[in-house]
């Protein structure tokens, strides 16, 4: 059975075909029966396909709106919460589905990388993932991430060969950049940063790793930086055979880092014989800055952000300093402005007072890149902290539309939902946040609170166990982190371990 069932009018076949191509490029199977006869009654095959579909894409046009078969399929999908509607020619929607958000595709230009296409593709992806998660939770077998005509890759953290542990941020940053670049290729599935970094420093056979993550290929590499010179090695391995598909070594000046990353991403696409759309090529080449030094400072700040905690004012102040230096070098570096805003937010969260400097930094970021989800997400948290929930909600809505799979977006959406006492929504967002960022302790703590309020004892215990595990990881190298100690005490108390909580509190 197919992942996606497409409901449409036969006369709209030419319009539907590019939608099918965009969906199949994501690796999802599609049932749309281009040979269907107009006015054909439901038969066993159609009924079986629509009932089994993880998502139903309804293509509204003036013709399909008049079709009782399309309307019936739409109502059935809406009842099962699997409906994703799109519209052409400003078609007048049936009354019973008008409340469901519909993507207008007039002028979409058949561009699968464009914002309108990404909107309905993201919606389909969320429904497909939800079904797979449910199947896994029930003990079923989730469909493989990669299909016969769809490649997928896990980019393992590049090894730091510089002989200096302080350079770890640089090798990790390069890994994240390559993951981000490859994620822009619509025909390639890419394992998230969080799942990839779970294997950091571990020895594992490539075919076993590929099987665990259900990917077709694994990429690994190393970074050595010394004396203004840079050596990066990278290799792509077939997950089934363990054979090298591609390998290269780059010996360059350190200022050539952007060119090297571009070359690696394009080499992977070429090795897998994928089609790189012009828009995707352009997106990969956009770095946010042309300054290698500014980028290096941003990577330092980013690493501090990832490994630090929300209660850690030392980390927040370091982020501000590093991002200030980056924006001094390149005042148009929107990502650095957005991350600086996060630092200001954390400082004011501890010290109190309105976060005007944080708002100013987000406004600078958004003036440069209005579609930067990270900036909208942190602005939402600042506004919520400053008492403007309505403005915060507007920013969260924008961030969710731009990057529904972003860690920052889901964390901010969770905070807002919690503040509004929408605890089921908060749980959904915080659960996604902890999956997207393995260093996120705060979201695990928020989940303890959410599950406590909703009376879900099992959920509370799972969240407390996760939170305790993550606090222990932080305290192993930072025993004096008072904020994380407090989190640890909270998790132990939630687990009913009062004695350990008391001992930890007295440290």
pLDDT in tens for each of the 507 residues of the chain?
788 999 998 888 889 999 998 998 888 889 987 544 444 444 566 777 888 899 999 999 999 998 888 888 888 888 788 999 999 998 988 876 777 889 999 989 888 888 889 989 988 988 888 766 555 454 444 443 333 336 899 999 999 998 788 889 999 999 999 998 998 888 888 998 888 988 888 888 888 999 899 899 999 999 999 888 999 999 999 998 888 999 999 999 989 999 999 999 999 998 988 877 888 888 888 788 999 999 999 999 998 888 776 667 888 999 999 999 999 999 999 999 999 999 999 999 889 899 999 999 999 999 999 999 999 999 999 999 999 999 999 999 999 988 888 899 999 999 999 999 999 999 999 999 999 888 889 999 999 999 999 999 999 999 999 999 999 988 887 777 788 888 999 999 999 988 888 888 776
Closest CA to 262 of 241, 242, 273, 248: 248
pLDDT at residue 488, as a whole number = 92
pLDDT at residue 43, as a whole number = 56
For residues 287 and 280, the answer to whether their CB atoms sit within 8 Å is no
For residues 426 and 450, the answer to whether their CB atoms sit within 8 Å is yes
For residues 114 and 121, the answer to whether their CB atoms sit within 8 Å is no
Q: What percentage of the chain reaches a pLDDT higher than 90?
A: 52
pLDDT at residue 35, as a whole number = 46
Task: Report helix, strand or coil for 391.
Answer: helix
Topology of domain 151-285, CATH? Rossmann fold (3.40.50)
What is the architecture, at CATH level 2, of domain 4-137? 3-Layer(aba) Sandwich (3.40)
Task: Report helix, strand or coil for 327.
Answer: helix
Closest CA to 402 of 391, 414, 413: 413
Q: Which two tokens stand for residue 51?
A: 């009932």
Number of Cβ within 10 Å of residue 139's Cβ equals 6
pLDDT at residue 131, as a whole number = 67
pLDDT at residue 437, as a whole number = 87
Contacts for 278-281: CB closer than 8 Å, 24+ residues apart:
279/111, 279/113, 279/114, 280/113, 280/184, 280/185, 280/186
Tokens 């006369």: give the residue: 11
- Taking the whole predicted model, whether its pTM rises above 0.85 is answered as no
Task: For the chain, give every domain's residue range.
Answer: 4-137, 151-285, 441-507
**Structure confidence by residue, pLDDT tens digits, 316-367:** 999 999 999 999 999 999 999 999 999 999 999 889 899 999 999 999 999 9
Phi-psi category of residue 2: left, alpha or beta, with phi > 0 → left and psi -120 to 50 → alpha: beta
pLDDT at residue 283, as a whole number = 81
151-285 matches 4-137 in CATH topology? yes
- What phi and psi values does residue 106 have, to the nearest 5 degrees? -60, 125
Find the distance separating the first CA and the last CA of the chain, reported in whole Å. 57
């Amino acid at each position: 059975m197919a992942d996606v069932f497409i409901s449409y009018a036969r006369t709209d076949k030419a319009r539907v075909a590019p939608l099918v191509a965009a969906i199949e490029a994501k690796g999802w199977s599609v049932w749309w029966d281009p040979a269907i006869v107009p006015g054909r009654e439901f038969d066993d095959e159609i009924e079986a396909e629509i009932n089994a579909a993880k998502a139903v894409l309804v293509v509204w046009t003036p013709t399909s709106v008049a079709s009782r078969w399309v309307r019936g399929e739409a109502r059935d999908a809406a009842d099962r919460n699997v409906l994703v509607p799109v519209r052409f020619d400003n078609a007048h929607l049936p009354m019973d589905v008008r409340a469901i958000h519909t993507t207008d595709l007039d002028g979409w230009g058949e561009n699968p990388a464009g914002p309108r296409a990404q909107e309905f593709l993201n919606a389909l992806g969320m429904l497909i993932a939800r079904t797979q998660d449910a199947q896994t939770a029930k003990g079923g077998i989730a469909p493989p991430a990669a299909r016969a005509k769809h490649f997928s890759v896990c980019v393992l953290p590049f090894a730091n060969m510089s002989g200096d542990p302080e350079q770890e941020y640089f090798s990790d940053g390069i890994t994240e950049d390559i993951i981000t670049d490859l994620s822009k290729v619509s025909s390639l599935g890419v394992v998230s940063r969080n799942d990839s970094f779970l294997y950091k420093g571990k020895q594992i056979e490539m075919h076993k790793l590929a099987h665990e993550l259900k990917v077709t290929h694994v990429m690994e590499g190393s970074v050595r930086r010394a004396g203004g010179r840079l050596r990066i090695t990278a290799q792509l391995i077939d997950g089934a055979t363990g054979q090298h598909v591609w390998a290269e070594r780059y010996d360059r000046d350190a200022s050539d880092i952007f060119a090297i990353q571009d070359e690696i991403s394009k080499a992977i696409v070429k090795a897998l014989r994928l089609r790189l759309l012009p828009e995707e090529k352009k997106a990969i080449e956009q770095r946010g800055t042309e300054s290698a030094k500014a980028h290096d400072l941003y990577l330092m700040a980013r690493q501090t952000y990832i490994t630090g905690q929300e209660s850690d004012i030392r980390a927040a102040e370091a982020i501000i300093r590093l991002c200030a230096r980056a924006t001094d070098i390149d005042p148009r570096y929107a990502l650095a402005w957005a991350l600086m805003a996060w630092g200001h937010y954390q400082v004011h969260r501890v010290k109190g007072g309105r976060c005007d400097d944080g708002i100013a930094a987000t406004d600078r970021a958004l003036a440069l890149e209005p579609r930067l989800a990270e900036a909208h997400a942190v602005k939402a948290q600042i506004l919520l902290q400053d008492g403007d929930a309505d403005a915060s909600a507007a920013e969260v809505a924008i961030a969710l539309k731009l990057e529904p799979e972003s860690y920052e977006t889901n964390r901010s959406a969770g905070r807002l939902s919690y503040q509004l006492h929408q605890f089921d929504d908060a749980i959904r967002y915080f659960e996604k946040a902890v999956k997207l960022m393995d260093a996120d302790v705060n979201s695990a703590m928020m989940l303890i609170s959410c599950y406590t309020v909703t009376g879900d004892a099992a959920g509370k215990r799972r969240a407390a166990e996760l939170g305790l595990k993550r606090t222990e990881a932080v305290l192993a190298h930072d025993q004096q982190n008072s904020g994380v100690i407090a989190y640890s005490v909270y998790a132990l108390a939630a687990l009913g371990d009062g004695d350990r909580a008391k001992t930890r509190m007295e440290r």
